[in-house]
Amino acid sequence: MKRLLCLFAILTAYNLLLTPCTGADTIYTKDNKEIKGIIVEEYGDRILISTVDGERSLMKSELRELYFDTEEQNLIKLAELARDRGDLIKAFVYYDKAFKVNPDSKAAKDGIVFLQGYLFKKDMAKKEQDINRRNEYEARGAGPAVIKTEEEKLAGDIEKLRKTAGIELQQDGTITLIKNVVGESPAYQAGMRKGDLLIAVWGRLVKYLSLQDVVELLLEKTSLETKCTIERSIDSGSRDLGADFKMLFDGMTISNIKEGSPAADAGFKTGDIIAQINGSLTRYMPLKKALELIKRSKGGTVRLTFRRDLVIWGKEGG
């Protein structure tokens, strides 16, 4: 692949469609420090970079310049910046180019689906402008509009999310927790359960976002479906899980599960990404060591924390 390095000014970059990155990345800070490593996570206001000295969290306000090392990553970043500026057509073009460079790019696929729905919704909203204007004329005689407080808006949005998707959220520090899932709701049918951690919405990591921001992300209907990433821990009563694992781009992944095995009975699925084994992170762990950690679990019980993508289909009228 042809090496393509592009310079990005990211000081104003916010509300990006976020994706963990790999490669030899270079960061320059405002105080002229150079940091080399791998950018493993990126949030609205900060990034997490893995260096030879360990992982570091850096606020974007501290950064001056950022270089990525692959063509795909640079195209994704250009798409994110175009989206942040509101240039959705250009963002779509960059996502499409990234997809052509790597048809397996999760970030490119999610970006294309997200923008297709967003542009369709924008077109439909434009067609409804005339109706809305007429309604405004009629409402002028109804007195001044009632301005909601932030608390009232949040409460209203939370209730709307419960009615349309069947989700109730709560936050514990920087973590967004699924407080409850209404039975047979779209979220329940998608596989979301009480106690799950919400990790991302359409690839955008939600850690460090406010509860209002997270709720608005989930309510933002760009298409009929909403793609979420959840994290859940499951205890298996056997160290012989009856499952096969591979170390793929996104991490340690379940590649196969035997029917009737402890893994199947515990609720694991093919494609689940194992983030932790008995509390130990697997991000940089060789597959052989991870498998040994499972086999050596004390008491014959192993706790696996996995991440899974879910698709919540919209409720009509939501």
Q: Do 211 and 271 share a domain, yes or no?
A: yes
Q: Which of 54-63, 70-79, 215-224 has the highest mean pLDDT?
A: 54-63
> 247-259, pLDDT tens digit by residue?
987 789 999 999 9
Does residue 7 register a pLDDT over 90? no
Confidence of residue 21 (pLDDT cuts 50, 70, 90): very low
Q: What is the CATH number of the domain that holds 162?
A: 2.30.42.10
Does residue 2 register a pLDDT over 50? no
User: C-alpha 42: how far from its chain's center?
Assistant: 10
Q: Count how many Cα atoms sit within 13 Å of the Cα of residue 14 in the half-sphere of its side chain.
A: 8
Q: What is the CATH number of the domain that holds 13?
A: 2.30.30.100
Structural domain count, the chain: 2
Model pLDDT, residue 139: 62
Q: What residue numbers bound the domain in which 13 lies?
A: 7-122
Distance, CA of 259 to CA of 267 (rounded, Å): 11
Distance, CA of 49 to CA of 283 (rounded, Å): 13
The mean predicted confidence, pLDDT, of the chain is 80
Q: Do 165 and 286 share a domain, yes or no?
A: yes
Model pLDDT, residue 290: 92
Q: Do 54 and 193 share a domain, yes or no?
A: no
Question: Among the listed ranges 27-36, 83-92, 153-162, 273-282, which one has the minimum average pLDDT value?
Answer: 83-92
Q: What percent of the chain has pLDDT over 90?
A: 30
Query: Is 214 a member of any domain?
Result: yes
Q: What are phi and psi of 313, to 5 degrees?
A: -85, 135
> 275-315, pLDDT tens digit by residue?
999 999 898 789 999 999 998 888 778 899 999 999 998 76
Q: Do 174 and 314 share a domain, yes or no?
A: yes
